[in-house]
Amino acid sequence: MKIKIFYAIIYVSFAVFIVLPLLYLFGLSFLSADSVSFDTRVFALLGKSILISASAAFFSTLAGVAAAFFIYKVNLPFSGVFKVILLIPLFLPPYVYAVLFEKMILFIGVNPAFMRSGYGLVIIDTFIFMPLSVLVTGSAVSGIKPEIEESALLFTGIKNTFFKIVLKLIKPSLTASFILVFIFSISEFSVPAFLGVKVFINEIFVMFSAFYEHSAAMLHSLFLVVLSVALPVADKKYFSDAPFFSFGIRKMKINAYGGIGLRLIAFLFLSGWLFISFLLPFFLLLRDALHGGIGEFFYTFKTLFPAFLNSFILSASGAVASIIAGFAVAYKTAFYRKKDAFDLMLLIVFAFPSIIFGIAFIKFYGNIFSYFFSGIFMITAAFAGKFTFIAFKIILNSIKQIPYSLREAAKLSGISEMSYIFKILMPQIIMPLTFAFMTVFILNFSESGAVMMIYPPGTDVLSVKVFTLSTNASQSTRSLLILLQILFTAMPVLFFYFLFLKIKSKIYIVNK
Which of residues 359 and 370 earns the better pLDDT score?
A: 359
How confident is the model over 130-163, as pLDDT tens digits? 998 998 888 788 777 777 777 777 777 777 788 8
Pick from 511, 327, 338: nearest CA to 426: 327
Distance between CA atoms of residues 126 and 56, nearest Å: 5
pTM recorded for the entire structure = 0.84
Instruction: Answer whether residue 355 is part of any domain.
Output: yes
Judgement on whether residues 128 and 49 belong to the same structural domain of the protein? yes
Tell me what pLDDT residue 240 has.
58
In this prediction, residue 506 carries a pLDDT of 64
Mean of pLDDT values over 200-228: 77
User: Which of the listed residues 270, 292, 314 is the one where a domain comes to its end?
Assistant: 292
- Among 237, 265, 292, the domain boundary falls at 292
| Sequence-separated contacts (24+) of 409-414 with Cβ below 8 Å | none
SS3 257: strand
pLDDT in the model for residue 256: 61
Tell me the mean pLDDT in the region 317-346.
83
Q: What's the average model confidence in pLDDT over 119-140?
A: 90
- Candidates 399, 357, 397; CA nearest to 380 is 357
**CB 442 within 8 Å of CB 91:** yes
Please report whether residue 50 resides in a domain: yes
Given a cut of 80, whether residue 212 has pLDDT beyond it is: no
322 and 264 share one domain: no
**Confidence at residue 91, expressed as pLDDT on a 0 to 100 scale:** 78
For residue 455, being part of any structural domain is answered with: yes
> What pLDDT does residue 181 have?
92
Task: Please check whether residues 219 and 341 belong to one and the same domain.
Answer: no
Adjacent-strand bridge partners of 74: 257
Domain count, the chain: 2
Quick check: 251 pLDDT over 70? no
Residues written for the chain: 512
Amino acid at residue number 82: F
- Comparing 402-411, 459-468, 498-507, the range with the smallest average pLDDT is 498-507
For residues 191 and 170, state if they share a domain: yes
422 and 358 co-located in one domain: yes
Q: How confident is the model at residue 471 (pLDDT cuts 50, 70, 90)?
A: confident
CB burial class (10 A; 0-12, 13-18, 19+) of residue 417? middle
The verdict on residue 251 lying in a domain is no
| Rounded-to-integer distance, Cα 126 and Cα 113, Å | 18
CA dist 242 and 182 (Å) reads 16
Going by pLDDT thresholds of 50, 70 and 90, the confidence category of residue 188 is: confident
23 and 40 both lie in a single domain: no
**pLDDT at residue 401 is higher than 60:** yes
pLDDT of residue 57: 95
Same domain, 22 and 90: no
User: SS3 for 345-359, per residue?
Assistant: HHHHHHHCCHHHHHH
Q: Which of 252, 342, 278 is nearest to 101 (CA)?
A: 278
Higher pLDDT pick, 36 / 187: 187
Q: Which of the two residues, 281 and 251, has the higher pLDDT score?
A: 281
Residue 257 phi, psi (nearest 5): -90, 115
pLDDT of the residue at 203: 83
Does the pLDDT at position 369 exceed 90?
A: no
Q: Which domain holds residue 186?
A: 36-246+256-292
For residues 423-452, average pLDDT: 85
Report the pLDDT averaged over residues 1-16. Answer: 83
Same domain, 267 and 390: no
Dihedral of alpha carbons 191, 348, 87, 503, sign:
positive
pLDDT value at position 510?
Answer: 47
Position 85 pLDDT exceeds 90: no
Q: b/e per residue, 321-355, with b = 16+ CB within 10 A?
A: bbbebbbbbbbbbbbeeeeeebbebbbbbbbbbbb
Q: What are the tens digits of pLDDT across the range 22-79? A: 888 878 777 665 555 566 777 888 899 999 999 999 999 999 999 988 888 888 777 7
Domain membership flag for residue 469: yes
Residue 373: predicted pLDDT: 64
One DSSP character per residue, 330-380 reads HHHHHHS----HHHHHHHHHHHS-HHHHHHHHHHHHHHT-GGG--HHHHHH
Share of the chain above pLDDT 90, in %: 12
User: Is there a single domain that holds both residue 279 and residue 378?
Assistant: no
Residue 338 has pLDDT above 70, yes or no: no
CATH of the domain at 446: 1.10.3720.10
Q: Are residues 236 and 332 in the same domain?
A: no
204 pLDDT higher than 80: yes
- Tell me: the pLDDT tens digits for 283-312? 888 888 877 778 888 888 888 999 899 889
Q: What's the rounded Cα separation, in Å, for the pair 321 and 319?
A: 5
Q: What is the mean pLDDT of the chain?
A: 81
Distance CA 286, CA 277 (A): 15
196 and 307 share a domain?
A: no
- pLDDT at 246 (0 to 100): 58
Phi, psi of 74 (to 5 degrees): -95, 135
Quick one: what percent of the chain has pLDDT higher than 70? 88
Please indicate, yes or no, if residue 185 is contained in any of the structural domains.
yes
Asked whether the predicted pLDDT for residue 507 surpasses 60, the reply is: no
| Same domain assignment for residues 302 and 234 | no
